[in-house]
Structures are given as C-alpha cells and as structure tokens.
Amino acid sequence: MRMNYTFLLILLKVTFVMPGANDLHFYDGSSTADVIAGDFFFEIIDPPELGYSYRIRPAKDFGSVFNETLHFHKARLVPTVPLHSCSEIINHEELVGHIALSERGECSFVFKATKAQHAGARAVIITESIDRWDDSLDHLIEMVDDKMELDVNIPAAFLLGRSGATILRTLRRLKRKYAIVNLPVNMTHVPINKMNQPPWVAW
C-alpha cells in the first residue's frame, strides 16, 4: 500500500510540472491568442516549397472582414498584373473568385483593393514592394482608409515583405501563375512553437 501511495505522489508531481499539449504559454509567458491579437493566418499548400503558415494583418478601417463565413479552401493566391494594382488588372481571368496578391507603392491601399475587387477578386493581400523592402523595416502595417470614398467590399490584409518577396520570386522561378492556399487558418489553440511559420520569420 505504501509503495502504491509513493508511486501516486511521483505521478502527480510529474503531471504537474510537465506542460500539456494544450498549454499555450511558452518563452515569455505570452499565449498564442496574445501574440496573434487581431491578425489572421493563411497556409500555402502548393507549391510545396512554400508550404508554411503566413501571418497577415487585416485592414483597419476599410473592406469587409475575414470570418468563418468567408473561408477560402484550396483557393488561388494570384499575383496581379501589374503587381502594384494601380491600374486595370489584366490577368483577371485567373483572379475571379480568388485572392489577389499585390505589392505596396504607386497608389493607396484602398485604391489597390478597389482594383482587385473590380477584377473579380474576393480578397486582396498586399505586401511590401519586392524590390524595395528592407529587413530592418519589415513589419506588419496597419492599412488605413485614405478617405478617397471608394467602396471596398472585399477583405484586405498586409503580408510581411520578406514573405511576399519569397512567394513572388518562387512562383516566378517555377513559372507558376498562382499558389494554392487555405484562408483563414485557425491558430488560436496551436502552441507558438508548433506554428508552421516560414524559417525566415522570427517572433
């Protein structure tokens, strides 16, 4: 009886100190929910070499919102032509019903979202210019309405420049017109160190 009691005490002690699979607190004590805040994630499932989960920041005060009713499963992430999306988008046939990928610059975020919407996109992701982004300045930007009074009815979000540049350059190298993605991906209960983020992204 005494042996069984001792074993039970040891078992309880081990259970107490070992973090469980659903323990969301790592490193600095922050939870996944704390880190994600109001951001979203999408995952690339093809091409495989881009197969990571990517964090995006939704526009602050324009466009609709990403939610459970607007879910993209195996959708196309299509780089727009022209990439800045400040004029009419000419590759609209690949884009209709899918997600546009545009680069920052030349015109406002709202104007880009409007052009993507007119081309038939159901959402737009904007990233830093592939030729102008800087590691030291690369961060998720709060995209705000520039008061142009344009009607944007699709969700818009911002993607880190390094991630955007890697996606664009990889698609170009593979001669692919788009990537296949799922968006949004629920990361709320995924431990921080288990998130399949790109190796070039650090918390």
**Residue 19 pLDDT:** 34
- What fold does the segment set 21-194 form as a domain? Glucose Oxidase; domain 1 (3.50.30)
Q: Please name the residue that has the structure tokens 């997600």.
A: 99
**Residue 180 pLDDT:** 98
Give pTM, 2 decimals.
Answer: 0.78
Q: Is 112 helix (H, G, I), strand (E, B) or coil?
A: helix
Distance CA 32, CA 24 (A): 6
Distance CA 126, CA 79 (A): 10
Distance CA 197, CA 191 (A): 12
> What are the pLDDT tens digits along the chain (203 aa)?
444 544 444 443 333 333 333 322 233 344 455 456 788 999 999 999 999 999 999 998 899 887 767 889 999 999 999 999 999 999 999 999 999 999 998 999 999 999 999 999 999 999 987 766 566 556 777 788 877 778 999 999 999 989 999 999 999 999 999 999 999 988 877 887 778 889 887 65
Are the C-beta atoms of 54 and 163 separated by less than 8 Å?
yes
**Residue 52 pLDDT:** 97
The domain segmentation of the chain, as residue ranges, is 21-194
Task: Kindly give, in sequence order, each residue whose CB lies less than 8 Å from that of residue 149, ignoring residues fewer than 6 positions away.
Answer: none
**Residue 61 pLDDT:** 87
Distance CA 155, CA 124 (A): 7
Element (H, E) at 171: helix 161-174
**Residue 68 pLDDT:** 66
Task: Kindly give, in sequence order, each residue whose CB lies less than 8 Å from that of residue 88, ignoring residues fewer than 6 positions away.
Answer: 115, 118, 119
